[in-house]
Homo-oligomer: A and B are copies of this chain.
């Protein structure tokens, strides 16, 4: 029975979990694939560290690129992270040497995915990255293989557990953003510097990969409009609840007449949508195809879940199930036609702190009418400090029917110039059936 010799770079939580899973499930994996899948060489930052796994008999490389070039490995697993070297150099070296690569590195692929896929194609080495998007949810395989007969219209998802944890606690327990973030940091769900998660960049990296898989376009993280969850207040979440919505940080890629619109922002989704009911650190991805609408819900991070995806990819490698990294050969991937966000169409939730004087409501309503925006509802809140509104001002919440981003932005600029609002208006896009 032939062996699949694994070289593994990166022995953090995920790397250790991969080693353990391959050992624990060795007999079963061998039965499934007809090969024994075994880690024979590793690379990590510090050699001496006790990681609770037995690495005796496993070759050590200080340099991950040297590991990737080790002629005595059959597949290279990259779990170092980082969108530049050494991760990039190591992955490129393995692929150039004709060695399949399994990686969990979303940042690397979001920025260099097409280039690396091309290196792999040139030397007939496959590139696998199930773990890079939504952790334990097999969305890469689902888009790349299972839904291959569908024309996909839309992919959207809760792709960042940190944000969903914060939004869930804010909504359910009425705890302010900062306190929820502090808890997330204490529980290890958020980094000391949480920017990457809560400002939406992590979601954008994953969305960039999903977009390519779903629409056959080149990965283009720079084409994504990104907005994080920092500005959301309890007042917004409470208003959403009353209106029948939940607020989620969604990554959305949708086919429009202008091209593929890619965006990451807080979104109000109807409570009855499966994705609205996903709480805590759990992730979810919804795919709308011409034949199938599918929602997958599962763990987006964590050692075991991510290892599950890595090992699933290794099983594919062992079985010889390769295919193109992004579903199509690189030459067939289309440039991502960037649909400009100003042309985004949909309903909007708008919360402003309106100056408490006669004529304010009339001015806001007139500006909306000038831009042809119809209002589904207007709610005026009694003045309160808690929502961050000065007692002299009044929180006004407007829900619009479908309009364009452009029109909304013009109205906001106009009413600001009119002097009828104070501070920054809160604008949340609405997704509906």
Interface residues of A (CB under 8 A from B): 17, 21-22, 24-25, 28-29, 31-32, 130, 136-138, 141-142, 145-151, 216, 272, 274, 277-278, 289-299, 304-305, 307-312, 314-316, 319-321, 323-324, 327-329, 332
Q: Which of B24, B291, B316 is A145 in contact with, Cβ under 8 Å?
A: B316
Stoichiometry (number of copies): 2
- Of B32, B293, B327, the contact of A148 (CB 8 Å cutoff): B32
For the complex, what is the distance from the CA of A332 to the CA of B27, rounded to whole Å?
11
Partner of A274, one of B29, B277, B292, B316: B277
Q: Is A304 a contact partner of B292 (Cβ separation < 8 A)? A: yes
Given A292-B305, A293-B298, A295-B298: A29 touches B149 (CB 8 Å cut-off): yes
Taking a contact as CB atoms under 8 Å apart, the answer to whether A21 and B304 are in contact is: no
Indicate the member of A141, A308, A311, A319 with the most B CB atoms within 10 Å: A308
A148 touches B312 (CB 8 A): yes
CB closest residue in chain B, given A311: B149
| Cβ–Cβ contact B304 & A290, under 8 A | yes
Asked if B308 and A299 make an inter-chain contact with CB atoms under 8 angstroms apart, the answer reads no
Residues of B near A329 (CB, < 8 A) are: 31
CA distance A330 to B215 in the complex (A): 38
Expressed in whole angstroms, the minimum distance between the Cβ of A417 and any Cβ of chain B is 45
User: Complex Cα distance A239/B332, Å?
Assistant: 57
Chain B, residue nearest A287 (CB): B298
Bound-state Cα–Cα, A361 to B384, Å: 54
Chain B neighbourhood of A142, CB < 8 A = 138, 141-142
